[in-house]
């Protein structure tokens, strides 16, 4: 199931706070090219403090603008949870169990 490019852009913008304690950042977007019987996957990956995006396809890697990522038809979005100071185990369990 592909998302429309507007949904990808929204997901990137709203990857922020969960219950005011946990923060998630979009770090990769997987895109399927082709149909249900065959095709090819490419991946956009965000790297470094400057949050530079790269497109990977097999052994090839190219830098791309965030606007290219936001315009893609995402198949899968991958997030990374930030380390947050003053976050207790109890806080984590409340969020993950809801």
Percent of the chain with pLDDT over 90: 48
Domain boundaries, the chain: 5-96
Residue 69 has pLDDT above 60, yes or no: yes
DSSP assignment string, 57-93: ETTEEEEE-HHHHHTS--SEEEEEEPP-TT--HHHHH
2-11, 19-28, 30-39: which has the minimum mean pLDDT? 2-11
What's residue 86's pLDDT? Answer: 61
């Amino acid at each position: 199931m592909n998302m429309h490019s507007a949904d990808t852009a929204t997901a990137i913008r709203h990857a922020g706070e969960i219950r005011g304690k946990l923060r998630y950042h979009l770090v990769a977007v997987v895109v399927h090219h082709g149909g249900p019987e065959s095709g090819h996957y490419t991946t956009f990956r965000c790297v470094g403090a400057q949050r530079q995006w790269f497109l990977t396809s097999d052994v090839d890697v190219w830098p791309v603008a965030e606007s290219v990522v936001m315009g893609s038809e995402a198949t899968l979005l991958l997030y990374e949870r930030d380390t947050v100071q003053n976050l207790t185990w109890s806080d984590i369990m409340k969020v993950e169990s809801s």
